[in-house]
Every structure is written in structure tokens, then in C-alpha cells.
Chains A and B, each alone.
Chain A
Amino acid sequence: MLLIPCPYCGKRNECEFIYGGPVGAKRPDPNAVNDAEWVEYLTVTPNPQGPVQEKWWHARGCGEWLVIWRDTRTHDIMEAPDDAT
């Protein structure tokens, strides 16, 4: 079980949240990138054994959307990606 830090409610049980998907790359200007880069932006998400950045929605709580870094090996939630052990 994750204890997800909500800026308003503090650390709350994961079952109060809905997963909102990974935080993707910033949308590039489609005219400024080539086809391969555009396809990569649309389809590829980082899939590391390590920290990923993701969105969660405190749906069964205050309703806030938030972003966390979480280690896919341990489920540890960290402040920044290089905090991973």
C-alpha cells in the first residue's frame, strides 16, 4: 500500500486515490520535430526499474491532483528522482 502525500490532507492511503498516468514529456511543436520524434512523444513513456513521475487524483478525499516520484522496484515515494536508493 502506498501512503501518498497530498498537499492538503497529508499522507493518505492509496485506496483514496485514482492513478492518473505517467507524467509524459512536454508536448513539442509538431512542426519543429521529425516524424520519429513525434511518434516517440506520442507513444513512449519511460519504463525504468527506478523512479517514475506520475499523476494521482485524491478523488475520495479533497479532489486535488498531484504529482509524485515513485520507485517502481520498491514503491518508495521520493521528493526527487535522484533520491532513489
Chain B
Amino acid sequence: MQKYSVLSLARNAFSGHRNWSPAWRSPPLKNRYDVVVIGAGGHGLATAYYLAKEFGITDVAVLERGWLGGGNIARNTVTIRSNYMRDESIPFYVKSVAMFEGLTHELNFNMMHSKRTMVDVVQTWPKLRELRRRQLVMDIYGSTYEQITSEELRRRIPALTGGGPDARLPVICGMVHTDAGVNRHDAVAWGYARAADARGVEIHQQTAVQSLLRSRHGTIEGVETNRGTIRANKVVVAVSGHTTTLTETAGLKLPLRTMNLTAFVSEPVQPLVDVIVNCPDSGFYFSQSDKGEMVIGGAPDMGQSFRRDIKQHVFEDTVTAMLSLFPSFKKLKLMRQWGGHLDISHDASPIMDQTDIAGLFVTAGWWGGYKAIPAGGLTLAHLVAKGEPHPLMASFTMDRFRHLDFVMEAGTTTAR
């Protein structure tokens, strides 16, 4: 792997940037690997990287039907945080946030990590009670949550001029999560891809898995793709909203539903807001990108969906809610909008497990799973390599459904 540094930048500048080596190879596709990972999104690439780095398993192919990093990892609003509610969740996300903070160094790729704090704008008493409850649990696990007055809140976010005493939902107070940050999603995908490739992992784009293949004994045997059959005794499904589409080709039903979550951005403006602002009672959140755009998200579409367009009334609801608290944003021109297919599990916690089909692993239910990429990849690689769940994810296996011992998680969605 060609190391990125000031020196390599200078050297390549002198040669007119013509001699950079490609960040990853495009090797010929073999018909057998030790491990096949389906999906070159954040979770698939991170799993492949940690399989190679931590467990020395390098005969790994990552199969991607589109292009690397073109799924939800390219469509999300990059909020990285650990203000969850359950004892099972918080340590996992604390670990993931910490891993993200060290990722630039780990992967020798600039993640442009900006640990800028998230502030919740609280407008109802039930929400305050829920966030206070989260705070009590977060205190135990070393995540940060602190209540501030509405005066302090308005001092920190001067653009927040709505929600006064006469508003339908007056602002009550703020909750501050200093561990939260944002970074550059492309760098996460490309950084993991480059580092995994350097350790021998093969990444095959334009390779769509059509079905999972089972042996006579019922175990996993490989996958059928548009480029032929590929055999492997271990197959990892890391396809985000398309999990059930694939597992059902092997007769496996999972407690997951696919929904469309959307986001949109404004034109770039001068620096205006230096924290991530989350308004759970109004139903929207945003942060300002390094380019100056407001990156805005709202509620998901109602009902299951495999469409990626934004519905007009979801868009209108989000904008209306935003203008009630940030009336000056009326002047902003909106530039682009998009959606992504996410799956959410029955109890809103992720599912990471070896399934009833021996050798078939899934990582799914990643609603808000961008923040989970480093810890998700590391702990899934552990499970694939050792056959035992990593302690940080042991609560996220299918056992909780078998025993009706759900890990209900109120911290999964930000907006509502």
C-alpha cells in the first residue's frame, strides 16, 4: 500500500499527479474463497478489513452489485454518537465512536473527523424524561450527556430563534452529547477498501449476488452471482436494506423490515452552526458540512419501502418543522435530496449472528448504522473467525428473539 503523507503528496505533485498507484486492485474473480462478504458498504468492508488484520483471514472476497461505497454509506448524514439507552447498546457505540476517532491513523486515510458535539433541542416533557433516563445509563458506561438551560442552548445555537414562550412547543432545555461528531463517508468506504485490499482482500464491484447456495446438509456452500457461482464455507450478508431479499433465497426469514429514509442539503452558506442539532420533538436534525451546506434529515416514510425518492409530504413536514425553530432558514435554497433502503429489526436493535444456516452470517438492522461501522466490522469479524460472539455484540444475536428477551432501543432513531 502506497502510504499517504505530506512527502508522498509533494512527490506526486512534482510528477503532475500521474503516478499515484490505484487505491485497490481489480483482480480476476476466483470460484472459491474462504469467506465471501456480500455488500461493499461500511459494514462489509470493515468486516473484511478486520478479518484480515485481526484474524489473519485474507482469502476473502467482497462482492458488490453496484460500486464500492454507493449504498447507504454514501447516503447517510454521518452523525456519529453513543447516546443510546440500553446497557447492551451503549458500550458498543462508545467503542465504535472511539474507533472512528482513531480511524484516520488506523487506515492512513484522512477521515476529516470533526468531534463537534450534538445538541438535542427538547420541547416536550416526555422527551426530556426519556433523555434523562438515557443519561443515567450513559453515565455508567462513560458516554456524555448533560442538560443545559434554554438560555445556554440559544447562546450555543444563535440561529435557533423559534420555539419561544408563545410557540406550540416552546423549547424547554437542551441535552449536550460532547462525544458526537461527523466525518467524511467516502473516506470511510475508501479507507477500509484500500486497507483491506493491501492485506489481500479482493473487492469485486458489479458483482450481484442472486441467491445463496446450500449444501446437501443444509450448510452454506456459496453464492450464485451474475458472474457465475462462487463457493465459500462462510458467507457474510452485509447488504443493509436488502437482507431479507437475499436470506429468503435460502429459506431464511428474519425479523426485519425495509424502509426508506431520506435527507436533503441546502446550498453552501457561511459557518452558522458548529454542532449537530437534533430536534426530536419537532422531527428533524441537521449539521453544517465543511463545504457549508446544511445537511438535513427528518422522519422515515411511513410503511415498508424499496423506493429511494423523497415523498413530498415528508419533505414538507421536515421543512415546516425546521422553519418553526430556525425561521431564518427560509432563505436557504435546497439543492439535492435522496433516500436509502434501511432495515429495522423487530426491537430496533441490530442483528449480528451466525444464522440457523451454518456458515451464513448476517449483519443487519442497521438503522443509524453508520456510527456502528468500526465496532460492527470488528465484532462481526470476531464471530466469523472464532465462531463465538464478541462480548460487545453478544446481546445482538438472534437468541434474544428466541427467548423473547428483546433489546428495545429508543436511541436508534434521532428524529423521532
Residues in A lying within 8 Å of B, measured CB to CB: 1, 13-15, 17-19, 22, 35-36, 39-40, 42-45, 47, 49, 52, 54, 70, 72-75
A27 to chain B, nearest CB (A): 15
Q: A1-B313, A72-B304 are in contact. Are A22 and B404 (CB under 8 A)?
A: no
Q: A47-B256, A47-B257, A47-B258 are in contact. Are A19 and B346 (CB under 8 A)?
A: no
Q: Contacting B303 at CB < 8 Å: which of A1, A35, A44, A70?
A: A70
Verify if B19 is at the interface (C-beta below 8 Å from A).
Answer: no
Q: A22-B257, A39-B401, A40-B253 are in contact. Are A47 and B304 (CB under 8 A)?
A: yes
Q: A1-B311, A22-B257 are in contact. Are A52 and B303 (CB under 8 A)?
A: yes
B395 to chain A, nearest CB (A): 16
Residues in B lying within 8 Å of A, measured CB to CB: 244-245, 253-258, 302-307, 311-313, 316-317, 343, 346, 401-402, 404
- 12 A–B contact pairs at CB < 8 A? A1-B311, A1-B312, A15-B317, A17-B302, A35-B402, A39-B404, A42-B346, A47-B245, A47-B258, A47-B304, A49-B306, A75-B307
Nearest A-chain residue to B401, judged by Cβ: A43
Q: A22-B304, A52-B303, A52-B304 are in contact. Are A72 and B404 (CB under 8 A)?
A: no
> Could you say which residues of chain B place their CB within 8 Å of the CB of A1?
311-313
Nearest B-chain residue to A68, judged by Cβ: B303
Inter-subunit contact A73/B401 (CB<8 Å): no
Inter-subunit contact B304/A44 (CB<8 Å): no
A75 to B313, CA, bound (A): 14
Which interface residue of A13, A19, A74, A75 has the most chain B CB atoms within 10 A? Answer: A75
A1 to B313, CA, bound (A): 7
Which interface residue of A36, A45, A47 has the most chain B CB atoms within 10 A? Answer: A47
